[in-house]
Amino acid sequence: MRCSFARLTILFCLATLLSSCGTFHRLVLGNHKTYCEVDSANHGFSKQYPQTFTVYPFRNTSWYREAGPRAREAIFQGFSLIGTCTRLDDTDRRASQPYSGADALRVAREENSDAVILGDVLTQDHFHFFLFTYAYVEVRLAVYDTKSGKLIWKGQTWSISTDYGLTWLAPISGIIDHYYWSRQTMDLYHRVSMDFVHELRPDVMASK
């Protein structure tokens, strides 16, 4: 009886341990939220300028077709906190050469935006196995002044999320697998977007 109870206790402790989850790329210390550093260079981005943005279609170098649109949507939402972003569908209708700098500037000028954002999804990856899953994204941005065509800011960062536990229960079918990883990677793109916004305008994303 004691042996069976001890075994159950050990199994319970192991299950609790393996069912924990965490995110490497974010820390919460008390009431203070920290943002990860971005590898960036500022060539003229300030609080006063730019105030309006065109978010041009992103270039995708990952394995996943949906990576570019997901990252772009997250960046659109993030930059909307610090300025006005023209509607993505309006930009798409005007764009004729995806990830062409000249075409991006033309579109931004037609939309009368202060700056145009060009983005690269460098990596989107995910993995799941019996007791472990992880998802990872990496994004690079460049912001150009619409009138002069000069680079005013560039940055690159990444985000990773890991889960431990009986992960085979989550992606048990193709539909569930797609939903699970869509949710994971979209969350990571939003976190990356907030890193960029915090780097550019820490006053907007000030921690309390």
Closest CA to 161 of 180, 140, 141: 180
- Is 40 within a domain? yes
Number of domains in the chain: 1
- Is 12 within a domain? no
Q: Any idea what the CATH number is for the domain that residue 193 is in?
A: 3.40.50.10610
pLDDT tens profile 86-118: 999 999 999 988 778 899 999 999 999 999 999
Closest CA to 129 of 181, 165, 179: 165
- Is 124 within a domain? yes
Determine the pLDDT at residue 183.
Answer: 73
Determine the pLDDT at residue 37.
Answer: 83
**β-strand partners of 39:** 156
Determine the pLDDT at residue 175.
Answer: 46
- Is 8 within a domain? no
9, 13, 16, 22 alpha-carbon torsion, rounded to 10°: 180
Residues in the chain with pLDDT values less than 70: 1-34, 127-133, 163-182, 206-208
Determine the pLDDT at residue 22.
Answer: 41
Cβ–Cβ under 8 Å, residues 197 and 204? yes
Under DSSP, the state recorded for 206 is: -
- Is 5 within a domain? no
Structural domain of 169: 20-200
Determine the pLDDT at residue 18.
Answer: 43
pTM: 0.78
Under DSSP, the state recorded for 96 is: -
Determine the pLDDT at residue 182.
Answer: 67
Helix (H) or strand (E) holding 93: helix 88-94
Determine the pLDDT at residue 31.
Answer: 47
- Is 85 within a domain? yes
- Is 13 within a domain? no
Distant-in-sequence, close-in-space partners of 148: CB < 8 Å, separation ≥ 6: none
Mean pLDDT of the chain: 80
- Is 14 within a domain? no
